[in-house]
Every structure is written in structure tokens, then in C-alpha cells.
Structure 1
Amino acid sequence: MPENTAERPLHRRSLLRLLTAAGGTAALAGCGVPAAYVAPGDRAARDRSARDRRLAFANWPLYIDTDERDEQRRPTLAAFEKRTGISVAYTEEINDNDEFFGKIGPALMNHQDTGRDLIVISDWMCGRFVRLGWVQEMDRSRQPNVARHLDPLLRSPAFDRGRRHTVPWQSGITGIAYNRRMLGRELRRTADLWHDDLRGRVTLLSGLDEAFALLMQGDGVDVTRWTADDFHAMTDRVRRLVADRHIRRFTGNDYIKDLSSGDVLAAQAYSGDVVQLRNDNPDIEFVVPEEGAELWSESLMIPNLAGHKRNAEALIDYYYEPEVAAELAAWVNYVCPVPAAREVLADAKDEETARLAEDPLIFPDAAMRKRLAIARDITSKERPEFAREWNAIVGL
């Protein structure tokens, strides 16, 4: 497990390039140009898995366990290769959702193999791939661990009912991080961010998809079915807070430095970041507000025409074995999508590892789970208008 927070995969949720800043590629993704849609019958290639025991897996940097003595060795992947005889070509080539969309989108739009059998992207972007018909439906009969162990909270998001095309790799919570000692009080609600003693000492996330749900929840909105009126009410509030200089700035993961230095006392934040921050500064706390917080995932998908679909399905199911999920969770420290991994970690001989089983930011307890929700995605019709409005506030 890396000691330096900056070396962890902290940028996955924060490097969003919003539609208006992403040009033609994002416009294609947002509008769903009819010519780009791929019908179900055109998504599968002849599977070569039986005779060609390999697969190509594209992921984000530093989003898998590594050997402390050899950073090029990934113990869970190595164990999968030894067990199955399937060779995994693992690349850390995904640095931004829109950028990766632009990288493989032309091949998918033109009914060509991307050269990748398995990819991991954020769920809001997964929604675009699913709507465009760019990913294949998985055969759950070949994935008994997924069927049995996938967290019920993550089983049926609006963009992929029943998780037929996607499987969470890791999950997380967008909530509030704050320095309790320096602030001198607790934060329990999103509205607590707007108290006078935090004027100029609060940051929000700059990415629309990352920020909007928590802010709506603070207004009492059910984010599983929010409306355009809810969105505009939220942006009106944020616009006023910016004008009053209450919000210091909008950030990616650089809020971590602001919190660590004390320049900022409270920030919209990701749960996985705070697990690591607390190792260096126990005064930093993470709160899931009483009104609720967003539960999100970054998910595995099999692109169209992937030549090793069965091998990819086998790898996905392997990571849903509780023992394997526990090993991965102990390294990345995000919300584990396999609740059964908690018992595995609790039995660990290493005390530090065993304590992770009691961390609600890795395994949310029952009270916290009641306050978590997966937000309805921004539709392709809504996105251009909402992105322009948000960008004008954020200053993108």
C-alpha cells in the first residue's frame, strides 16, 4: 500500500473533461449520433478464448495491488494467470474518461476491435457506452461469484438495469471531508458547509458528474429521480455562494493538499482519499451527510468485438471471490463491492489489515448504507445545457 497519497489512483474521478471543453468526441458521446449506435447482433466477435489463453485489460494507473519489492508484479493478477493459464496483458492507459472515449471511440463507432478485452471507466461514462451499444452483455452463468457477492446497493443502476453490461471494479462515496480540530465543530449536513465560519474555506469538486449529486442531496432531492428544476435550484445556490466568495475554489483531487495544509477546512471529497489522509492526519474526518451522499463505481466492461470475452468474464468473476476482493480492497482502500470480503480482512493476521474490516469507508455500516444512493445519470439531451451552466459557474 503506497505511503504517499499523491501516488495513489486519486485522479480517476477528478480528471473529467466536460462536454463543452471536449469538442467533437464528447459531443458524439453526449448526443448519441445514430450512426454510432451498434445493434446487439453486431457486438460479438468469434471468441478465441479456448485456443488463445490471453486477454488485454486496460485500467487506470495504480488501481491494482502491486508487490512492494517489484512494482511491475501484481499479486492478484499473477495468481489468476497461474490458476487459469490465461496470460493478462495489463496496461495502465486510462487517465481520463473522455480522453479514453476519444481513444477507442472511433474503432467502436466503425465496428472495429479496440484491441482490448476489458476496460474500467466511471459509471457515468459507462452509461454512454451502454446507450451507444458499444459493450457486450456478460454471461452471468459463467460468473457465479458476481451473481452471489456483488453488493446489493450496486446491482441495478439506472444506466444498466441488472448490471448486464457492467460490473463494479471498485466503488466509493462522494461526501464531505473536514478538519475537525481546526474547525472546532462537527459537520453533519451539507448545509453546514455554508455557515459563516467556513466562508472562503470550502472547496467543491469541479467536475459536473462528480459534484452535482451531493449538492442536490443537500437540498433534500432524491437523486435517483432528480429533475431539471432540481438541477437549476442547485446551481442557483452554488452561483450565489461563489458570488459571496464563500466557496474558495473548485478542485480536482488537489483538495487533498488544501486540507492537509489547513488552507481549506472542508471540502467535497472522495471516501478513498480520506482513508489515506487520515493515516497522516487523524484530524481529517469524512462524513456522509444526514441527507445522504452519492455512491459511485468505476466498472469493468467488455467492448464490442473483443476476441477473448470468456477469458474476460473469468477474470471479472475471479475478482469477486471474497479472498481476492479483500486483497484488492486492502490496497486501494475504496468501498469494496464485495461485502463478503469484510470477513476475510477481519481474520487477517496483520493488525493493520484487520482494522480495515471495521472502516465504514471501505465497508459501510448499516446506518451509512441507508444514506447512500446512486444518482440518476445526466441524459444526453440534458448534458449540453447543464454542462454549459456548470462550466460558467466553475470557470472552465
Structure 2
Amino acid sequence: MEQYEPDRLTPAQVAAMRRSFRNGSASLSRRSLLRASAGGVLAAGGLGALSACGIPAAGKTQGGTSSQDHSAQEKVVNFSNWPQYIDADKSGKRHPTLDEFARQTGIQVKYTEDINDNNEFFGKVKPQLAAGQDTGRDIIVLTDWLAARVIRLGWAQKLDPANLPHAFANLSDQFRAPDWDPGRAYSYPWQGVSTVIAYNKKALNGIEVKSISDLLDNPGLKGRVGFLSEMRDSIGMTLLDMGKDPAKFTGDDFDAVIARLQKAVDKGQIRRFTGNDYTSDLSKGDLAACVAWGGDVVQLKADNPDIDYVIPEAGYMTSTDNMLIPNKARHKANAERLIDFYYEPKPAAELSAYINYVCPVNGGQEELAKIDKAAADNPLIVPTKAMAARTHSFRALSEKEDAAYEEKFAKLTGA
């Protein structure tokens, strides 16, 4: 068993802190925030909204824009991430893996938790990116659909493979080839996010739940079913249930899913569409079963033995939150060294032990077992090969599709 330093949390202390996060003011963590969909002003306005803001339509520019790299002279990395999305010491103010990176490299990390919503953050940095200006950030963490947008706009710098030996060697096959960034030329996953079916055994009272069809069609679950307000998760899981590939679906396929979900809404089968606030309803039994995120399920199961999950035979959805280097970043080489550091198995394991998302790093499981054997054996954190083979990703959307699909989904959910 790994010996913890005095200022580090033991696995039991981590579990206790997570419980306090859920019950107290610290509950606004990355997993507690709505993983905002591609709605809002960008989706509503589509290409027109982009052009009206002086932003070129996606696909009009290619490749990122670098600037003079000050990495050799300025030993710093400016890293923007989501709240509570990294390991922390007992005070919550220091991050042991970042401290270790600084010790090894002499590079200090200025770490800022200033990404609370994908669209909100994009609105904050897009004027600078559109104007070809430095955002003051060397690494930003964006959910895959927004990472795809930034890359298409030409606002992310191409990564130098020579600075990423661990990342190239250790990236899990599951995440190597997204259609929006073939070969991971511009991005590397920070963590993966699995979408599964979670249920409360006591609330089910003997009803068997194995598929999305069970959620939508079993009258015994009427009014006690939840779906996610993240379009790609709810639509993707239903596409799979209908025998469609989320990586290749058509507009007609999308409309068929909307119609199926609308029928369930109209008859009162679906209680509501939610962000992470489904966790309370599921724990209390107000929801008997729901579409859920794996990171939440890991925590809920630790606190409530009635909570469990199932991977549908049809498969499940996985998305990623991704590290990118924006245009004009001053410390590109330093940023690449930090990205690469998190693809070494030991730092990757320390991160996963704390936040419980899907570890994208081969070799992380062995190191994780030294810290938390239960976490290392949990397929929601380290998917087995068989489980990884059943995962699917939502295909990249054009701006026109994005706007149209979000509008239809918003009408369905009442957003």
C-alpha cells in the first residue's frame, strides 16, 4: 500500500470529503455542475450568430496560431479547469500532483478553477481568440463538443508529439481517434465521462431494468424515470437502444429518437430531464431509474447500498473533457510537459483516485490499486476491455445540425 504524505488525504478521508461536497457548500464540483449542452446563443444562432460576433464559421480556418514561446524564460503554466476536478490536500487549497510536477520540472502551475459552464467560458474567451490575442491561459479543459468547435475554428495549437512521449504511448485506445480530432493532434483527454443507467433497488421493488426500453416502456416505472438534460447523452443512449450508431446517425434517426422520448414525456413516463441534480432524487427513491453519469454512480454507491447501475446490452455513451492549448499561449512547451505528466501512470492514478472519472491512461490501473484497490477494480473508473468495447461516442455536428438538434431537444425538455 502506498504511504501517504502527512498533507495528503487517505482514501477514507477522500470518501468523507466527497460526502461533505455533496451535502454542503462544496457541492458545486465538476460532477455537480450541469455539463452544459451546445445550446444557448451559439446553438440558437448557428452560423449567423458566429458571423454576427465577428467570428468565422467553423471550418473556415485551419490550424492553430502560435506565438513566441516563452517557456524557457518563464517557468510557468497557466491552467484553467473546472471546480473540484483535480486532486487536493486536506486544506483543499493545494494539489499534490501539481506540486509534484513543479518539483520535477521547476515549472510552477498557476491553477484556476474558472470554467463553470462550457458556453459561459467560451463566451469569455472567444473575443480574444477571434482577435488573435492571448487569453492568458496555456491549457483549457473543454468538453468534447466544444473542443471540436475550437479546433474547427482554428483556435487551438497543434501539439508537438516530441513533447508528449507518455501521452502518445499511454493514451487508452478507447480515446485515440475521435472524429473531431483524428490522431489527437490538438487535444488529449483530461478524463472520460461514462453514461449508464442507474437505479435504486428499493424503489424498483423487483422491477428489472436492463435497457433504455425498460425505462421508456415499463408502466411500473411511470413518473419515476429520469433522463439527462445533456442532449448527446440522452439522445445517444436512445439511439443505441433503437439499433442506431451515435457516430453515424442521420437527421431522420434523430427525429425518431425525439418522437420516442416525446411519447414518454406525454404519457408521464419520464419524470424530468436533469443535470446532476438527479442524484438526490435517485438516492431518495423519487426516481427509480435514470440515465446517469458514472462518476456520480461511484459516489452514490459508496453512500447508499440500494444504488447500482447497468450497462445496456446495446452499449453506452462516453464523452471526454479535453486539454487544449489555445492560440497565442505564451508557454506552449511547458503546457505540453504538464499534459504529458498526467499521462504518466502514477499522477494519472492519483488524479483518478480523487475524482473517480474514467482514467484515460494505460497503466493507471496498476498504480491506482496501490492507492485504492476498490477504485482500480471499478469498471466505471477503469473500464475492462469488454466494457470499453461497448462504448460509443456522439459524432461531431455541423453548426447547422448543432443549432437544429439543440432546438428540437430544448423543445422536448422544456428548456
TM-score, normalised to structure 2's length? Answer: 0.90
Distance 1:211 1:75 in 2: 36
Task: Please point out which of 311, 325, 332 is paired with 2:334.
Answer: 311
| In the alignment, structure 1 residue 165 sits paired with structure 2 residue 180 | no
Q: Contact 1:30–1:380 at 8 Å: present in 2 too?
A: no
| In the alignment, structure 1 residue 155 sits paired with structure 2 residue 170 | no
Query: Which letter does structure 2 place at the counterpart of 1:190?
Result: I
The DSSP-based 3-state class of the residue aligned with 2:30 is coil
Cα deviations across residues 87-144 of structure 1 (Å, max 9, x unaligned)? 1110000000000000000100111111100000100110100110110110111111
Partner residue, 2:202? 181
Distance 1:391 1:332 in 2: 30
| In the alignment, structure 1 residue 57 sits paired with structure 2 residue 72 | no
Q: Contact 1:38–1:109 at 8 Å: present in 2 too?
A: no
Pair 217,35 (structure 1): closer, same or farther in 2 beyond 3 Å: closer
| In the alignment, structure 1 residue 383 sits paired with structure 2 residue 402 | yes
Query: Which letter does structure 2 place at the counterpart of 1:141?
Result: A
Partner residue, 2:283? 260
Q: How does 1:216-227 map to 2 (within 5 A)?
A: 216-227=239-250
Task: Please point out which of 116, 122, 140 is paired with 1:95.
Answer: 116
Query: Which letter does structure 2 place at the counterpart of 1:291?
Result: A
Cα deviations across residues 310-342 of structure 1 (Å, max 9, x unaligned)? 000000000000011000000000110013110
TM-aligned CA deviation for residue 286 of structure 1: 1.7
Pair 326,366 (structure 1): closer, same or farther in 2 beyond 3 Å: same
Cα deviations across residues 207-257 of structure 1 (Å, max 9, x unaligned)? 223322111111111111111111000000011111101100110110001
The DSSP-based 3-state class of the residue aligned with 2:329 is coil
**Matched pairs, number:** 391
Partner residue, 2:94? 73
Query: Which letter does structure 1 place at the counterpart of 2:249?
Result: W
TM-aligned CA deviation for residue 20 of structure 1: 5.3
The DSSP-based 3-state class of the residue aligned with 1:108 is helix
Task: Please point out which of 156, 162, 171 is paired with 1:135.
Answer: 156
Query: Which letter does structure 1 place at the counterpart of 2:272?
Result: R
The DSSP-based 3-state class of the residue aligned with 1:298 is strand
TM-aligned CA deviation for residue 28 of structure 1: 2.0
Distance 2:402 2:196 in 1: 23
In structure 2, runs of 5+ residues without a counterpart are 1-13
Distance 2:365 2:198 in 1: 24
Query: Which letter does structure 1 place at the counterpart of 2:361?
Result: V
Q: Contact 1:271–1:334 at 8 Å: present in 2 too?
A: yes
Query: Which letter does structure 2 place at the counterpart of 1:326?
Result: A
Task: Please point out which of 271, 277, 282 is paired with 2:305.
Answer: 282
Q: Contact 1:30–1:384 at 8 Å: present in 2 too?
A: no
Task: Please point out which of 264, 287, 291 is paired with 1:241.
Answer: 264
| In the alignment, structure 1 residue 340 sits paired with structure 2 residue 363 | yes
Pair 42,227 (structure 1): closer, same or farther in 2 beyond 3 Å: closer
Q: Contact 2:155–2:327 at 8 Å: present in 1 too?
A: yes
Query: Which letter does structure 2 place at the counterpart of 1:15?
Result: A
Q: Contact 2:58–2:152 at 8 Å: present in 1 too?
A: no
TM-score, normalised to structure 1's length? Answer: 0.94
Partner residue, 1:208? 231
Distance 1:286 1:203 in 2: 14
Percent identity, aligned pairs only, is: 43
Distance 2:54 2:189 in 1: 24
Cα deviations across residues 33-79 of structure 1 (Å, max 9, x unaligned)? 537878457600000000111111000000000001x2111000011
What do you get for the CA RMSD once the two structures are aligned? Answer: 2.1
Pair 289,31 (structure 1): closer, same or farther in 2 beyond 3 Å: farther
Query: Which letter does structure 2 place at the counterpart of 1:134?
Result: W
Partner residue, 1:393? 412
Partner residue, 1:19? 40
TM-aligned CA deviation for residue 204 of structure 1: 0.7
Cα deviations across residues 349-384 of structure 1 (Å, max 9, x unaligned)? xxxx11111101011112211210122122212112
Distance 2:53 2:161 in 1: 31
Partner residue, 2:31? 10
